[in-house]
Amino acid sequence: MLSFLSSSLSNTRQTLAQVLNFALVLSTAFMLWKGLSVVTSSSSPIVVVLSGSMEPAFQRGDLLFLWNRSPRAEIGEIVVYNVKGKDIPIVHRVVRSFPEIEGKEKTVKAAPESSPNMLLTKGDNNAASDEELYARGQDFLHRKEDIVGSVRGYMPMVGYELAELIESPPEGITVELANESNLYEWKVLMDGPDGSPYHKGKFHLKLTLPTEYPFKPPTVSFVTKIYHPNVTNDDKGSMCLGMLKADEWKPSSRLAAVLQFARSLLEEPMPDDAVEGRIAEQYRDDRKRYEEIAREWTRKYAVGS
């Protein structure tokens, strides 16, 4: 009885320690993001370009760094703005500014200092300016109310594959950032394929990119528990994918192909490349029992998650 209580208390302490560590990581990331927001005076100091309307200046997937402490935005400046009622950041160039400014000292023409800075924007790759993108009845952007920030720096192509996967994900897969301040950790939701024992399950995976990506492979792990010969049967949920091995990875490989291959393993496991030998042996020798357990785990851990 005492040993049972001791074991229960130990497990409780471990669980609490894990929860506190997770909360510490989240709070640290949140504070860093909020700190950056305060310094830049922008609600979203880092954004990813999701469209081609600013090509060739910026490509889809470029990572932009914003600054929002300037009182005015000048003609030719590239800004990020949100449309009222829609949470979609748009990256376009200022083509007109009101009230206009003149002279070397850039004084405002016949307007008091309190006059709001109004802007008209346009995508470099678009034929017309942005009036149709603004909110109903809005002809100009308000510098203080609508602008998220002005572009002050960028990293080319860092988020290209993320933008591509969010816009056109493979069948049965959705992708988003696990934390919008960290471009290198993705949350993946994967539907169990039809005809497999994982059907009707929704599995949460974590895809982590090393800072040396694409020259080093990403790692893929299951957050949702799954009974599978190619996924470790522990809290890590590490997935064994041949194409992600250091000696087989190619920098030209696409993350969409990685996720499609991961989902294909739910239909056809690879017992010869297993990380769980017992499950692989069961898959080869007693397929019926293997599928029964896989379905049971799917109902228990992956349905409604």
CATH number of 160-302: 3.10.110.10
DSSP characters over 22-42: HHHHHHHHHHHHHHHHHHHT-
Cβ contacts of 35-38, under 8 Å, gap ≥ 24: 36/181
pLDDT at 83: 83
Q: What is the mean pLDDT of residues 172-178?
A: 92
**Do the domains 160-302 and 46-155 match in fold?**
no
Alpha-carbon distance of 79 to 89, in angstroms, equals: 10
pLDDT at 102: 47
Across the chain, mean pLDDT equals 84
Return the domain boundaries, the chain: 1-40, 46-155, 160-302
Q: Is the per-residue pLDDT at 105 higher than 50?
A: no
pLDDT tens profile 178-188: 887 787 899 99
What is the pTM (predicted TM-score) of this model? 0.53
Torsion of CA 7, 13, 14, 19, to 10 degrees: 150
- For the question of residue 53 being annotated catalytic, the response is yes
**Position with higher pLDDT, 144 vs 25:** 144
pLDDT at 200: 93
Lowest mean pLDDT among 18-27, 230-239, 296-305: 18-27
Q: Could you tell me the CATH superfamily of domain 46-155?
A: Umud Fragment, subunit A (2.10.109.10)
pLDDT at 214: 74
Q: Is the per-residue pLDDT at 298 higher than 90?
A: yes
Q: Which of 62-71, 105-114, 226-235 has the highest mean pLDDT?
A: 226-235
For residue 283, the surrounding DSSP H or E stretch is helix 277-285
- The edge-to-edge listing of strands for the beta sheet with 202-208 is 173-179, 182-191, 202-208, 219-222
Alpha-carbon distance of 290 to 304, in angstroms, equals: 22
- pLDDT confidence band for 110 (50 / 70 / 90): very low
Q: Which of 37, 42, 62, 130 is catalytic?
A: 130
190: Cα separation from own chain's centroid: 15
Q: Which of 44, 92, 146, 150 is catalytic?
A: 92
**Portion of the chain with pLDDT greater than 90, in percent:** 38
- For the question of residue 234 being annotated catalytic, the response is no
pLDDT tens profile 40-87: 989 888 888 878 888 777 777 778 889 999 888 889 999 999 887 777
Whether the Cβ atoms of residue 50 and residue 167 lie closer than 8 Å to each other: yes
**Position with higher pLDDT, 16 vs 104:** 16
Name every residue whose Cβ is closer than 8 Å to that of residue 61 and which is 6 or more positions away in sequence.
48, 49, 157, 158, 159, 160, 161, 162, 163, 164
- For the question of residue 199 being annotated catalytic, the response is no
Whether the Cβ atoms of residue 203 and residue 236 lie closer than 8 Å to each other: no
Query: Beta-carbon neighbour count of residue 247 at 10 Å?
Result: 5
pLDDT at 108: 41
Q: Which of 53, 97, 150, 196 is catalytic?
A: 53
